[in-house]
């Protein structure tokens, strides 16, 4: 998942979506995706449940500069509005009920400026079957705006 052939296109995709705007990552982990985005000069903030994961992120280059709030991504609010909110690497499956997943989607929407983007990815067939969005393939990405939903790379 750190392989540049996997990571670089994801970072390109999110940077393009943000178009210079602020980016929020839910379940930011150790900054695998967030830090390369910040290295491109984008303002990136995150929500993360685990203090040890944040400690690890802080030890990496650029990690001291990110705004991170400790909490549950289903309910925790970052200050301000964002052009893009994203969730990577199956982290939605850390929320074990459909109700919690829906709260997370609602929380993502609450972070977005009007008309902006929410991107999440899951490669779990089990998750796909129980997702509110009911994706039809086992490896699925979705980008949603208030007006439309479309598949993404």
The alpha carbon of residue 122 and the mean position of all alpha carbons in its chain are separated, in whole angstroms, by 11
CB of 57 to ligand SAM, least distance (A): 9
CB of 22 to ligand SAM, least distance (A): 17
For residue 107, give the nearest of 131, 87, 77 by alpha carbon: 77
Beta-bridge mates of residue 143: 119, 150
Could you tell me how many residues make up the chain? 153
CB of 86 to ligand SAM, least distance (A): 9
Give the residue nearest to ligand SAM (CB). Answer: 29
Considering beta carbons, is residue 94 or 133 the nearer one to ligand SAM? 94
Considering beta carbons, is residue 28 or 37 the nearer one to ligand SAM? 28
Considering beta carbons, is residue 48 or 114 the nearer one to ligand SAM? 48
- Burial class from Cβ neighbours inside 10 Å (0-12, 13-18, 19+) for residue 48 reads buried
Considering beta carbons, is residue 75 or 149 the nearer one to ligand SAM? 75
CB of 147 to ligand SAM, least distance (A): 27
The alpha carbon of residue 143 and the mean position of all alpha carbons in its chain are separated, in whole angstroms, by 11
Residues that bind ligand SAM (CB under 6 A): 27-29, 32-33, 47-50, 53, 72-74, 88-89, 91, 94-95
Taking the C-alpha atoms of residue 76 and residue 61, their distance in angstroms, rounded to an integer, is 26
């Amino acid at each position: 998942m750190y392989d540049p052939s996997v990571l670089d296109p994801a970072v390109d995709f999110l940077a393009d979506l943000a178009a210079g705007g602020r980016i929020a990552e839910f379940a930011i982990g150790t900054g695998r995706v967030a830090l390369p985005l910040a290295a491109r000069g984008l303002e990136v903030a995150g929500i993360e449940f685990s203090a040890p994961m944040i400690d690890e992120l802080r030890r990496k280059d650029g990690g001291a500069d990110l705004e991170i709030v400790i909490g549950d991504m289903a309910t925790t609010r970052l200050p301000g509005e964002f052009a893009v909110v994203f969730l990577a690497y199956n982290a939605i499956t850390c929320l074990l009920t459909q109700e919690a997943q829906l709260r997370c989607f609602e929380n993502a929407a609450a972070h977005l400026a009007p008309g902006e983007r929410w991107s999440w990815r899951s490669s779990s067939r089990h998750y796909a079957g129980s997702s509110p969005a009911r994706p039809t393939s086992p490896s699925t990405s979705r980008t949603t705006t208030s007006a439309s939903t479309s598949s993404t790379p």
